[in-house]
Copies of this chain bind each other. A is one copy, B any other.
Amino acid sequence: MSLNLQEKILRAASELFYSQGIRATGVDAIAKAANTTKMSLYKYFMSKDDLVLAFLRKRDEDFRVWFVDQVDGKADTPKARLLAVFDVLDEWMATPEFRGCAFINAAAEFPLAGNSVLQVSAGFYDHFRRYIADLAEQCGSKSPESLALQLSLLLEGAIVSEQMKRHSGSAEQAKQAAIILIEHSIIDIPDTSLPTSNPGEQQ
């Protein structure tokens, strides 16, 4: 009934993992939250680790789709979208459920080097940076990859900053910084000691 039991379990787990932390969430609590039993849970997921990875992989997909949709709905030129990213960020962080970035949090909870959790988390930000880099390229950035990395640093920084202390204006400052960096990356500015290994084309 209602919906796929597997999906119900995954949803319940996702909500608990994100709101309370992964290690702090037991499988009993997940089963109860999904209105089912551990037996069914283990029918669809080999182990808790398996469930954790399913959570992260789904979130990887869902969150990026949601985010891009939000950005696209706010602006329609590449440059405006690059800035709209920070407006979406701001709105997301104002949400009462906001509890930081699920991937950053997961990485903090599973620090072992080769961990799958770490890999999925890194993958998320790879994808995200690619999205930013594409936008950067479309608005004529001289170094889209660099700009994308810089902007994503601001974004990640704002997230963790807001996580530790709410409503401290992280998103606004991140946007202000982004404006400067974007302009600087687009406009032809010679100096400011930023060679960025740009061969030729200088003049």
Contacts and interface: CB of A to CB of B under 8 A. Distances in A.
Contact of A194 (B118, B169, B176): B176
A70 interface: no
14 contacts: A19-B111, A21-B110, A23-B24, A23-B109, A104-B104, A104-B108, A104-B163, A111-B163, A153-B161, A154-B177, A157-B157, A176-B192, A177-B181, A180-B192
A13 interface: no
B153 A107 contact: no
A154 B150 CA distance: 8
Given A179-B195, A195-B183, A21 B153 contact: no
Given A23-B24, A111-B21, A125-B165, A177 B153 contact: yes
Copies of this chain in the oligomer: 2
A4 interface: no
Interface string A12-46: 00000001110110000000000000000000000
Interface string A87-112: 00000000000011001110111110
B179 A181 contact: no
A111 B181 CA distance: 32
Interface residues of A, number: 56
A153 B150 contact: no
B150 A173 contact: yes
A53 interface: no
B108 A176 contact: no
Interface string A123-158: 001100000000000000000001001101111111
